[in-house]
Amino acid sequence: QVRLVESGGGLVQPGGSLRLSCTASGSIFSIEGFGWYRQAPGNQREFVAFITGRGNTKIADSLKGRFTVSSDNAKNTTYLQMDNLKPEDTAVYYCNAEGKVAIDERFHRWGQGTQVTVSS
């Protein structure tokens, strides 16, 4: 059973920074990529960032220049660095992971989410 555990959320002032972490554990054969999504009250879950096992990254166009995604493959962990935060960034942030638990058995798992609140 693959599990994802998120941390790093909290309250921050506009213009401040936070770094979120997401660590995968369990019976993992390989991880092909990590994704980050967010969901504000009353809104649909939206794409934030993605990083592959080879280090290729994608950031949502509206967040480029403020958000950065990275990973530590040895720790099965992804990081989302968020700088110059704005009140509209307030949301629950979720990570997910795709990969394999066996040579011919894939997984796709979501974390439980971590709250980010940007307010004065």
Average pLDDT for 23-50: 96
**pLDDT attached to residue 18:** 98
| Angle at the Cα of 38 from the Cα atoms of 37 and 40, rounded to 5 degrees | 160
How do residues 68-81 score in pLDDT, each as one tens digit?
Answer: 999 998 999 999 99
Strands (E) across 44-90 are located at: 46-52, 57-59, 67-72, 77-82
Q: In degrees to the nearest 10, what's the CA dihedral of 75, 78, 82, 86?
A: -130
Q: Which residue has the tokens 């934030």?
A: 48
Percent of the chain past pLDDT 90, that is, above it, reads: 96
The whole-number pLDDT of residue 1 equals 86
Can you tell me the distance from the alpha carbon of 115 to that of 25, in angstroms, rounded to the nearest whole number? 21
For residue 64, what are the contacts with CB-CB under 8 A and spacing of at least 6? none
